[in-house]
Structure 1
Amino acid sequence: MSEESVNIEEQPCNTNVEESPAVAATPKQTKLPMAKIKNIMKCDPDANIVSNEAVFITAKATEFFIDAIAKETYSITAKGKRKTVTKKDLQTILDTLDCLCFMEGTIDI
């Protein structure tokens, strides 16, 4: 199946995250501390050497993941006509979206 024929609606999780253009890996382009991410990645005994590009991609993927979950959770909050996001809203998203099934049971309510 070619990339052109993939229907976005068929994807298991459509998080509506905007695509950003490819950019060079520099620390100023991430919101998360790359040094901390690198230290976390090095905790894996199989990862002796971690490239800066791998750290950058991991940081950006984490930012997009957090952004998508935050937007989805806020949408539940807004539907309830509330301004404060609660754990219950996050749990609703985790239970509702199939692409987040790996996180089931991670939040105690």
Structure 2
Amino acid sequence: MSNQQTSPSKGIKELRLPISRVKTIMKSSPQVEAIGQDCLFLVAKATELFVHYLSEESHQKSNKAGNLEYKHLAEVVQTNETLEFLREIMPRKITVRQFKEMIDDKNSESSSDSDTDSQSDSDSNSDSDDKVENSSDSSHNDNDKKNGNNSLEDSSKDESEEETKP
């Protein structure tokens, strides 16, 4: 039975990832206080197996091309449900032109939404402003009639003169 199991010290030699780098990455997490050798070995081996799986899947999707490129990896991540957790980290590549078109589309959508909202707000505000102006006009007209003034300008001049008088 001991021949079938690989001890961590012997297994570390079989790893392709540098164990010190894996340990450094694991220690960078604030929740990790101590890292045992068994745990370190398992995380490094699991990472290697994951990278191997991702590269194999990408190679198959790339139609057995001689080179494996980012676009192949991103395509696998975007289409494979089990790799959904990587979708924000590995998005599909787009050109600058496509990016600018996306930004323009978003800006036009938000400006049309905000135009509609602001127009309806301004319409409702102008209605209420008209009501306020009408009510103030009518109060000025009432005061003008009492004072014998015929225009709003005359009443405003009179009011300003009255305020400055001691």
TM over 0.5: yes
Q: Give the Cα–Cα distance (whole angstroms) in 2 for the partners of residues 59 and 97 of structure 1.
A: 23
What is the number of equivalent residue pairs in this alignment? 87
Runs of 4 or more above 3 Å deviation: none
Per-residue Cα deviation, 1:23-47 (whole angstroms, up to 9, x for no partner) = 2112202111111111111111221
The answer to whether the aligner puts 1:55 opposite 2:54 as a matched pair is no
Counterparts of 1:2-81 in structure 2, within 5 Å, are 22-26=5-9, 27-78=12-63
TM-score, normalised on structure 2? 0.49
Q: Give distance in 1, aligned partners of 2:32 and 2:70.
A: 34
| Higher percent of residues as helix | 2
Identity %: 25
Structure 1-normalised TM-score? 0.72
Alignment check: 8 A CA contact 2:23 2:40 kept: yes
Residue 78 of structure 1 aligns to a residue whose secondary structure is: coil
Deviations 1:31-82 (A, max 9, x none): 1111111111111122111101110000000000000000000001126xx3
Amino acid at match of 1:97: N
Asked which structure has the greater CA Rg, the reply is: 2
TM-fit CA distance, 1:22: 4.4
1:102 is the counterpart of 2:77? no
Counterparts of 1:46 and 1:107, CA distance in 2: 26
RMSD, matched Cα: 1.6
- The code of the aligned residue for 2:38 comes to E
Shift of 1:105: 2.3
Alpha carbons of structure 1 residues 61 and 22: separation in structure 2 relative to 1, 3 Å: farther
Using the alignment, how far apart are the partners of 1:47 and 1:91 within structure 2? Answer: 30
Counterpart AA for 1:57: L
